[in-house]
A and B are shown apart, each in its own frame.
Chain A
Amino acid sequence: MSMKYTNEHEWIRVEGDVGTIGITQYAQEQLGDVVFVEVPAVGRTVAKGESVAVVESVKAASDIYAPVSGEVVEANAALADTPGDVNAEPTGKGWFFKVKLSDKSELDGLMDEAAYDAFVKSLG
């Protein structure tokens, strides 16, 4: 399926009942050079809206929230050594973690690409 987006500038791409989560192109551009990423432990149960990861640019640390509830089934350990992947390929190699969704209806509250693009435009 296609990507969904949150107003916290995260994306989620769901295949089957597993969603892959990262930050958007807009977010990485605005953050600037990412120098540290902390991803959640595999097996952790997360609730929608819970702070589960951290992305740090040279200037600032930001929380990343779980866009959906479920269990973390994989985390991108490579980001520890190559945090710049988040800048280079925010929706590719720069993914953060994967969650096995406990409630797929939570996806309904997220934005599609057109809605997210309009949201970013509205930020000026």
Chain B
Amino acid sequence: MIASDNATLTETLLTDPAAGPLKRTPLYELHRELGARIVPFAGYEMPVQYPTGILVEHAQTRTAAGLFDVSHMGQVRLTAKPGQSAAKALETLVPGDIAGLQPGQQRYTQFTNEAGGILDDLMVTSTGDHLLLVINAACKDADLAHIQKHLSATCEIEPMFARGLLALQGPQASQALARLAPSVATMKFMTGAYVVIDGAECYVTRSGYTGGDGYEISTPAEATEAIARKLLAQPEVKPIGLGARDSLRLEAGLCLYGHDIDTTTTPVEAGLLWSIGKERRVQGGFPGAAVVQKQIAEGAPRKRVGILPEGKAIAREGAEIAIAGKGVGKVTSGGFAPTLGRAVAMGYVERAHAANGTKVDLLVRGKPVPAEIVPMPFVKHAYYRG
């Protein structure tokens, strides 16, 4: 009998019993109307897929445009108190170069802890007058408390958790959104601007979580549904659930908090050194800086890598990575990559075995599946850089 760590079919089909009342985004009724399968996710009732299914939704986003409801994510606005700098203040909590953000520029960074571990990852955009933060749904209450504890003396902190957040992603996202708001067509990747859509003032960034071109649109709560309907009325656009969001980000090699990064992984181990400002690597000044600087200088003990299994078996989160029967790491995300029609994975391995081309085995249901460490992303990024 094969040792198995799979769910039973019954367990897989069971929806998690709700731990306390679940929240709903402004688009809940629309998701129901569109026939979404709703599941509990990070305390919200969210659409995991619509009737066409994850593979069709994935292909839609890679070839045309997909609309995602990501209103469960947290949005926070920081404004400097008189005589203070919000960017300098935020830099005491994150390793990213925030002070260097020009108005309208966006950056990816992480909240770190004293051990250099990652409390959450986030996007930061400077409007000139404010910093706009987008944080993960499951972390947002803890993040807010963390920000309030450390930045209340220097910043006005406004959680905007009721606002809507829509992601419009895919190669035709630009032409679709530009029909409603022409100015977005020329925005470059990782920039943001206030844009009026359907009469409502929104904040749009050219960014996303698919590896492709696209936008995230922060909307007033009460305007979210009307804007979503306007976007869905565009011929290029279809609704996309969390299932395809996960397969899209996996192909793009992007980290999922709580899986590929968490409090036990540093940004260096996670391969996120690119997101740490050059001066900040030297000067530090963020929690865990000493650990991160030591890893930059000496190398991290382990690294996040891309892994391509041979054959069709899918190695999922938790699968052991071994060389000649000896464990060298673990898979943190793994699944079927619809664009490639094959399984892919990412995980952490000891530094000595992290080089591209290294042959490893992934233990899937107790059986070794030959695999190779490969560069990420698995599917080439297609960001719009102008």
* A interface, CB within 8 angstroms of B: 7-10, 23, 27, 30-33, 35-36, 38, 50-51, 54-65, 80, 87
CA distance A73 to B319 in the complex (A): 31
- CB of B1 within 8 A of CB of A50, answer yes
CA distance A55 to B314 in the complex (A): 11
> How many of B's residues come within 8 Å of A, CB to CB?
30
Chain B residues with Cβ below 8 Å from A30 are: 12-13
Interface string of B22-49 (1 = CB under 8 A from A): 0000000000000000000000000011
A-B pairs, 8 with minimum CB distance: A35-B336, A62-B12, A62-B9, A30-B13, A58-B54, A33-B55, A61-B6, A63-B6
- CB of B313 within 8 A of CB of A58, answer no
- Classify the interface of chain B: helix, strand, loop or mixed: mixed
- CB of A33 within 8 A of CB of B314, answer no
Closest to B10 in A: A8
* B interface, CB within 8 angstroms of A: 1-2, 4, 6-13, 48-49, 53-55, 58, 243-244, 246-247, 312-314, 316, 335-336, 338, 343, 365
Closest to B3 in A: A51
- CB of A51 within 8 A of CB of B13, answer no
- CB of A36 within 8 A of CB of B55, answer no
- CB of B9 within 8 A of CB of A61, answer no
CA distance A23 to B13 in the complex (A): 12
Chain A residues with Cβ below 8 Å from B12 are: 30-31, 57, 60-62
- CB of B55 within 8 A of CB of A58, answer yes
Across the interface, A58 reaches (CB within 8 A) one of B4, B11, B13, B243, namely B243
Chain A residues with Cβ below 8 Å from B313 are: 36, 38
Chain A residues with Cβ below 8 Å from B11 are: 62
Across the interface, B9 reaches (CB within 8 A) one of A8, A58, A80, namely A8
Interface centre among B9, B335, B365 (most CB of A within 10 A): B9
Number of A-B contacts (CB under 8 A): 82
CA distance A77 to B347 in the complex (A): 31
Closest to B316 in A: A61
Closest to B52 in A: A33
Chain B residues with Cβ below 8 Å from A58 are: 54-55, 58, 243-244, 247, 335-336, 338
A sample of 29 cross-chain residue pairs with beta-carbon separation below 8 angstroms, ordered by A number, consists of A9-B9, A9-B10, A23-B9, A27-B13, A30-B13, A31-B12, A32-B49, A35-B314, A35-B336, A36-B312, A38-B313, A50-B1, A51-B6, A57-B54, A58-B247, A58-B335, A58-B336, A58-B338, A59-B243, A60-B7, A60-B12, A61-B6, A61-B314, A62-B7, A62-B11, A62-B12, A63-B7, A63-B8, A64-B9
Chain A residues with Cβ below 8 Å from B338 are: 58
Shortest distance from the beta carbon of A51 to any chain B beta carbon, whole Å: 5
CA distance A63 to B365 in the complex (A): 10
CA distance A62 to B13 in the complex (A): 9
Across the interface, B1 reaches (CB within 8 A) one of A27, A31, A51, A62, namely A51
Across the interface, B336 reaches (CB within 8 A) one of A9, A56, A80, namely A56
CA distance A88 to B316 in the complex (A): 25
Chain A residues with Cβ below 8 Å from B49 are: 32
Supplied contacts A32-B49, A60-B316, A63-B9, 13 more A-B pairs, CB within 8 Å? A9-B10, A27-B13, A31-B12, A36-B314, A36-B343, A55-B9, A58-B54, A59-B243, A59-B335, A62-B7, A62-B12, A63-B4, A87-B53
Chain A residues with Cβ below 8 Å from B10 are: 7-9
Across the interface, B4 reaches (CB within 8 A) one of A32, A51, A55, namely A51
Chain B residues with Cβ below 8 Å from A57 are: 12, 54
CA distance A9 to B9 in the complex (A): 7
